[in-house]
Amino acid sequence: MRKAASTWLVVWSAACGAPTTPDPADDTDEVVVPSGDSDADPCDDYTWETVGEPFVLTWCAACHSAEVKGAQRQGAPASVHFDTEAEAVALAGELGFVAARDAPTMPPSGGPDAATRARFATWVGCVSAR
Ligand code: HEC
């Protein structure tokens, strides 16, 4: 009995001491808390929740949400929707191009002020750099 227990302990401690290679896939949902302000990632202030989602909900979803059908889309292509962070990130380059460059074409009329578009452009830059 004692022998079995100590054998187990050796195996256990060897496993714990083994060098581990971080798996990048593990990082996706992890909130990394910076140890000090100087280490803070500026992109922490430009997240889907704080910048991306409010922008597309306010300025794009009326025509582009997958929930919006037929004539209510006002001509927005059925295939172009970005309701979730994953969908928006996948289209980020295109969204930035139509909504956050110097002469934006989306939304087709009106739209956010330059500062709001600039914040969205920063979000696009952050997710594109991931
Ligand atoms: C009033 C309805 C309406 C709103 C609001 C709107 N769109 Fe559109 N969107 C359209 C229409 C119509 C088209 C297709 C015609 C075109 O490409 O100009 C389109 C096309 C697009 C395309 C495809 C462009 C291409 O060239 O294939 C993207 C990307 C897009 N919109 C993004 C956005 C974003 C981002 C917003 C919010 C900032 C937005 N749209 C807001 C109506 C809208």
Q: How far separated are the first and last CA of the chain, in Å rounded?
A: 52
**Local confidence band at 39 (pLDDT 50, 70, 90 cut-offs):** confident
Tens-digit pLDDT profile for residues 43-79: 999 999 999 999 999 999 999 999 999 999 999 999 9
- Mean pLDDT of the 95-111 span: 96
For ligand 1, whether the C-beta of 61 sits within 6 Å is: no
Give me the domain span that covers residue 86. Answer: 42-128
Query: Among the atoms of ligand 1, which is closest to the Cα of residue 112?
Result: 38
Domain assignment present for 9: no
**Quick check: is 87 in a domain?**
yes
Q: Are residues 41 and 34 in contact, defined by beta-carbon separation less than 8 angstroms?
A: yes
| Reported pTM | 0.77
Q: What percent of the chain has pLDDT over 70?
A: 71
Residue to mutate, 74, 80, 127, ligand 1, most ligand atoms under 8 Å from C-beta = 80
| Within-domain flag for 93 | yes
pLDDT band at 42 (very low <50, low <70, confident <90, very high): confident
Q: How many domains does the chain have?
A: 1
Q: Which residues contact 82 (CB under 8 A, 6 or more apart)?
A: 56, 60, 64, 88, 90, 91, 95
- Residues 6 and 8: their CA atoms lie apart, in Å, by 5
